[in-house]
Structure 1
Amino acid sequence: MSTGWDCHAHVFGPYAAFPLAGARSYTPPEAPLDAYLALLQRLDLARGVLVHASAYGPDHALLLHVLEAAPHLRGVMVVRAEEQRDLSGLRARGVRGLRFSHRSGAGNFAGSAGLDDLVALAPAMADAGLHAELWTDTAVLPGIDATLRALPVTVVIDHMGGFEVEAGIDAPGFATLRALLDDGHAWIKLCAYRNLPGTEIARGQPFHQVLLDTNPAQLLWGSDWPHLRVDPAPDAADLLALFRDWTPDALAQRILVDNPAALYD
């Protein structure tokens, strides 16, 4: 499916040219653009969406560099409200959204932007033609449901909303995620492995199926390459094969090709 998209990946380095931020929550190995382009070729996908990593803090040089070097890619940037950045020219440079984090447990990483940043920046994002990407989880999603519905921008939720497999598909948090998708208030990136131990990934299929049944027109697929802080890291080819196993061919075409083309182009 050579016109398909990988809608969630990161690049890092080379660090001699693009060093990480001094204040960061993790230190990943280098994962440069050429390695990602090789991955797309191996997956038989044509397009990709690169998400700015919090380990780079407010330095967007790498993301903007790779978007210029590979104009068939798109980008999602992290911007905090305090930066007072002009957003109006970002879309012309390949940026399609800004990413924010609002998570339970350990909370947000150093270098990330939070929910307050999203609310503050949303009017300027709407004017600039940018959507909001949100890394969150179903433990906190019911508490921010009204906030997300009131935003003047499209919302894309990462990693299947951080569902809790033990809580099941009827849990309040997953019900909130499903309602946001059903009402057209959110797009969702399918990426089950982030929420499950590697040997239990099959337990994610019921959650995947519920989202397919709810609103396949606003679903995306992302490899999450290079699989940060996951040991052992999965092979993106295996993840894509699993997605295809779980998804009827017509819907797979829609999710891998039609939906991302509509959102990112």
Structure 2
Amino acid sequence: MTTPPIAYAGACDCHVHIYEDAWPLAPTATFKPPHAPASAYREVRRALGLTRTIVVQPTGYGFDNRCTLSALEQLGPEARGIAVVPLDVADDELERLHRAGIRGVRFMMLAGGLLPWSGLEDMAARIAPLSWNINLQLDGRELPQRMAMLERVPGRLVIDHIGKFLGPTPLDGEAVGALCRLLDKGNCWIKLAAPYETSKSGPPAYGDAVPLARLLAQRYPERCVWASNWPHPNVKPEPSNAALLDWALALFDSEPVRRKLRVDNPAELYGFPLLSAEGFHGPASAQAEPGPRPVSGIRAARRS
């Protein structure tokens, strides 16, 4: 984009990781992350003109969500989180996490992930009464063989990093077709984020990542959200967060759909209060955020 993006109240960064030296890494950690505290991210958010944040539990902390929960407390009511929990997590613990701002469970199917494919469908059914999402990161080339399961997911499904196709993937191929089928269902969202995860041509244009990202942006503007993926661990040189935002915004042809990417779609997905098109709060009835669902509702869903 040739001009600075319009700043909207409620603009959201839908995927960041917080790392604090105070919290020990899990034995399963695959690398030592940088010290990247919530206080440092707050400056990133301010510089980008954002007001809302989704903190995603890093693989390095395993099932210990304390760092993520601490970040939510520090970032305040305009933050939500994605946790990693054992498959046998108690209903009371899910309720506690909901009250703390958690709105999904991360299934990382690459190095460092803890939850298996075999547990995804049951977990999705358990968290659906809370309006949580399954946050899925995988090599997108694996989508065709997982479609039967993913199409049965009863609640919300979010796929990371433009599908993260870790090898050549034609736009008219089976894998991209599978991703589009999921987005067609209406309960799936895609993060237009971290093009450096798959691009071979590199910054600043990430030209080889543009065709797929543009296809998704043009075909599914109401299913796209944006994320910085800050603090970009293991990416050298560190990418510009502002340039990554510009890259994503340039995929869209009009300001109303760019606003959807940053404001409306994240609000719907993560349960933030809705805002009017001018960036001011809309009617009180539209702003009301769903409170924690009763534990009995979760248990009833599990029995059904």
**TM exceeding 0.5:** yes
Q: In the alignment, does 2:185 pair up with 1:183?
A: yes
Secondary structure of the residue that 2:103 maps to in structure 1? strand
**Matching of residues 27-66 of structure 1 within 5 Å:** 27-66=32-71
Shift of residue 205 of structure 1?
Answer: 1.3
Structure 1 stretches of 5 or more lacking a match? Answer: none
* Distance in 2 of aligned mates of 1:122 and 1:183: 16
Determine if contact 1:165/1:196 at 8 Å carries over to the other structure.
Answer: no
Distance 1:143 1:101, change over 3 A: same
Larger Rg: 2
Shift of residue 33 of structure 1?
Answer: 0.3
> What RMSD in Å do the two structures reach over aligned CA positions?
1.7
Shift of residue 22 of structure 1?
Answer: 3.1
Secondary structure of the residue that 2:212 maps to in structure 1? helix
Q: Tell me the amino acid that sits aligned with residue 114 of structure 2.
A: S
Determine if contact 1:134/1:157 at 8 Å carries over to the other structure.
Answer: yes
* Distance in 2 of aligned mates of 1:9 and 1:46: 13
Determine if contact 1:18/1:62 at 8 Å carries over to the other structure.
Answer: yes
Higher mean alpha-carbon deviation, 53-62 vs 117-126, is at: 117-126
Partner of 2:232: 227
Work out the number of aligned pairs and report it. Answer: 258
Shift of residue 164 of structure 1?
Answer: 4.9
Shift of residue 115 of structure 1?
Answer: 1.9
Partner of 2:284: none
2:85 to 79, 84, 91: 79
Secondary structure of the residue that 1:229 maps to in structure 2? coil
Identical columns (%) = 33
**Matching of residues 1-265 of structure 1 within 5 Å:** 1-3=7-9, 4-13=11-20, 15=21, 17-71=22-76, 72-84=78-90, 86-102=93-109, 107-109=110-112, 112-164=114-166, 166-191=168-193, 192-197=195-200, 198-199=202-203, 201-248=206-253, 249-265=255-271
Which digits, 9 at most, give the CA deviation of each residue in 1:45-99, with x for residues without a partner?
A: 1111010001001111111112122221110001121454631232221111000
Determine if contact 2:33/2:233 at 8 Å carries over to the other structure.
Answer: yes
Distance 1:152 1:167, change over 3 A: closer
Secondary structure of the residue that 1:99 maps to in structure 2? strand
Determine if contact 1:165/1:204 at 8 Å carries over to the other structure.
Answer: no
Shift of residue 211 of structure 1?
Answer: 0.5
* Distance in 1 of aligned mates of 2:184 and 2:122: 26
* Distance in 1 of aligned mates of 2:27 and 2:169: 38
Shift of residue 136 of structure 1?
Answer: 1.2
TM-score normalised to the size of structure 2?
Answer: 0.80
Determine if contact 1:99/1:133 at 8 Å carries over to the other structure.
Answer: yes
Determine if contact 2:14/2:54 at 8 Å carries over to the other structure.
Answer: yes
Structure 2 stretches of 5 or more lacking a match? Answer: 1-6, 272-304
Secondary structure of the residue that 2:154 maps to in structure 1? coil
TM-score normalised to the size of structure 1?
Answer: 0.91
Higher mean alpha-carbon deviation, 121-130 vs 182-191, is at: 121-130
Higher mean alpha-carbon deviation, 20-29 vs 31-40, is at: 20-29
